[in-house]
Structure 1
Amino acid sequence: MPEGDTVWQAAKRLHTALAGRVLTRSDLRVPKFATADLTGRTVLDVTPRGKHLLTRIEGGLTLHSHLRMDGAWKVFENGQRWSGGPTHQIRAVLGTTERTAVGYRLPVLALLRTAEEQDVVGHLGPDLLGPDWDPDLALTRLLADPTRPLGEALLDQRNLAGIGNVFKCELCFLLKVTPWLPVGDLPPGHAAQLPELAQRLLEVNRDRPDRNTTGLPRQNFFVYGRAGRPCLRCRTPVRLADQGDGARERPTYWCPTCQTGPAPAPVRRSHRRTAS
């Protein structure tokens, strides 16, 4: 599921394929921008901002995209068969003489002036993988509402940008607290540790093909996706329940022994995919 590390990888692939090259093909398959023609323009760079992608193009234009749960950008050599989903799921095509980038199932796709990028990403907090990363500011924003559950505060991109549901669950486990613990109840040492730990988790995963938070070769996660299975530390069965973030419920995993704090009654169901 796309989180800050996944988006960083997508930006790197797109930048390598497109930056410094002239577009020979441009096809934006959303009604508002269907007539926009970017051919003949040079791609300047592709920059990640939290979970957002900014493809900057000659002439002061930026193509803004967001992957949400299922979106993906695929890069193909010219002549290579595209694979990423059926044709009707393609939302954008950007091609050069050598490679073609194809955006599948992009829920957010907009062409705007580069000078107006702040309109779409200006609300975001410090980017965990960006040059603007500021752990002190991130912590200040997280603690601004001390009654808010930690899991919800971590998912709020206005506090810090890049964390999704996977890293939320894993961070709470590593901090030894439940995602329902009010932020203000975090022990001082844990609160001070949080921004650095979050940044380190994303940084070590940004170049990995398979996300891993445990450091173990065959166990990628401590609790995420492990409902009913033994905790890797204490062997207590991992629990699962929904947690809201103000917009939707997300399946949330925790160990009732290793993590202290409030928690709802667990639900009985198998792991399902969710937006990050």
Structure 2
Amino acid sequence: MPEGDDVWRVAARMHAALAGKRLASSDFRVPSLATLDLSGWTVLEVVSRGKHLLHRLAAPDSADSDDGATEARISIHSHLKMEGSWQVLGPSDRWHKPAHTARVVLKAEDGVSAVGFSLGILEVVPTAEEGHVVGHLGPDLLGADWDPELAEANLRSRPDRAIGLALLDQQNLAGIGNIYRSELCFLFRVHPAAPVAAVADLSGLVTTAHRLLEANKARPSRNTTGGYGPRGDSWVYGRAGQPCRRCRTRIEHATLGEPAAALQRERDICYCPSCQPPPG
């Protein structure tokens, strides 16, 4: 699943391609939206909210209205989940994915198109009601609402929960995925299965999470180490079986899931057993 900086880049790319343009056509390929026609609507902006995307549009003849009538604004809410992607295509560009996986096609009057493929979530809501679809999220690590004190308080609210699970919970703070979860735990020498209460510097961990995503949001490739050349992009994630960059101990791979959770899906974790001793 994409990390928050991945989604931020998708939003930035969509915004650069569509903001301020009127749509010549729209094609929603999901049953609930199949009859929706946004021809003539203007794309105001495209923003990310954690791992969610919001295309905000104004109705025809209302984009330049001084009263900013909220009833004339809608938001296309999407989430990439595991398989989804958005592509920006010029008038003569060909799609890079099979047509049957397209869920929505937004075509601007200048011929530029944005195509959403295999989207895990796709819905349209009044912009004034975005809170119904993203209001449950914690402070966004790459958003204007970022609040490190609130993020830390959210994590501390369940001190016995595994830190590796708490960091992935988007209601605590929005934007951390499996890669940053593993990297942050390594940097703060805590095993992902250790309880939140065992993290000696939780404030520092939250601050570092924000710093890492900010540093990587505009990079073509993610790097959490700050060095080690083009292949030194991570401390532990994706390096199972390789030597730890700190102590040369073999990096281990395991899975971690919520205890006793129904229909849970365990996620991969990578850690150094010497730098991050398992709890107990």
1:261 shift after superposition: 4.1
Structure 1: how far apart are the matches of 2:209 and 2:52? 18
Structure 1: how far apart are the matches of 2:21 and 2:112? 10
For 1:170, what is the secondary structure of its paired residue?
helix
For 1:156, what is the secondary structure of its paired residue?
coil
The answer to whether 1:204 aligns with 2:215 is yes
1:23-102 matches, within 5 Å, as: 23-58=23-58, 59-83=72-96, 85-96=97-108, 97-102=110-115
1:1-276 matches, within 5 Å, as: 1-58=1-58, 59-83=72-96, 85-96=97-108, 97-187=110-200, 190-216=201-227, 217=229, 218-245=231-258, 246=261, 247-262=264-279
Structure 2: how far apart are the matches of 1:98 and 1:203? 32
Q: State the aligned residue count.
A: 260
Provide the aligned C-alpha RMSD in A: 1.1
Q: What amino acid does structure 2 have at the position aligned with 1:181? A: A
For 1:63, what is the secondary structure of its paired residue?
strand
Q: Structure 1 stretch 5-14 or stretch 254-263: which is displaced more?
A: 254-263
Partner of 1:268: none
For 1:91, what is the secondary structure of its paired residue?
strand
Q: What amino acid does structure 2 have at the position aligned with 1:41? A: W
Q: What amino acid does structure 2 have at the position aligned with 1:184? A: A
Q: What amino acid does structure 2 have at the position aligned with 1:176? A: R
1:260 shift after superposition: 3.2
Q: What amino acid does structure 2 have at the position aligned with 1:158? A: Q
Structure 2: how far apart are the matches of 1:93 and 1:8? 20
Structure 1: how far apart are the matches of 2:221 and 2:79? 21
1:231 shift after superposition: 1.1
For 1:37, what is the secondary structure of its paired residue?
coil
For 1:25, what is the secondary structure of its paired residue?
strand
Q: What amino acid does structure 2 have at the position aligned with 1:208? A: R
Structure 2: how far apart are the matches of 1:234 and 1:8? 34
TM-score computed with the length of structure 2 as normaliser: 0.90
Structure 1: how far apart are the matches of 2:127 and 2:113? 22
Structure 2: how far apart are the matches of 1:129 and 1:241? 29
Structure 1: how far apart are the matches of 2:278 and 2:149? 24
1:200 shift after superposition: 0.5
Partner of 1:270: none
Deviations 1:143-200 (A, max 9, x none): 100000000000000000000011100010011110011001211xx21201110000
- Identity between Structure 1 and Structure 2 (%): 53
Deviations 1:188-242 (A, max 9, x none): xx21201110000100110011111111222111111111111111111111111
Runs of 4+ aligned residues of structure 1 deviating over 3 Å after TM superposition are none
For 1:115, what is the secondary structure of its paired residue?
helix
- 5+ residue gaps in structure 1? 264-276
For 1:24, what is the secondary structure of its paired residue?
strand
Structure 2: how far apart are the matches of 1:214 and 1:153? 23
Deviations 1:107-155 (A, max 9, x none): 1000111111000100100000000000000000001000000000000
- 5+ residue gaps in structure 2? 59-71
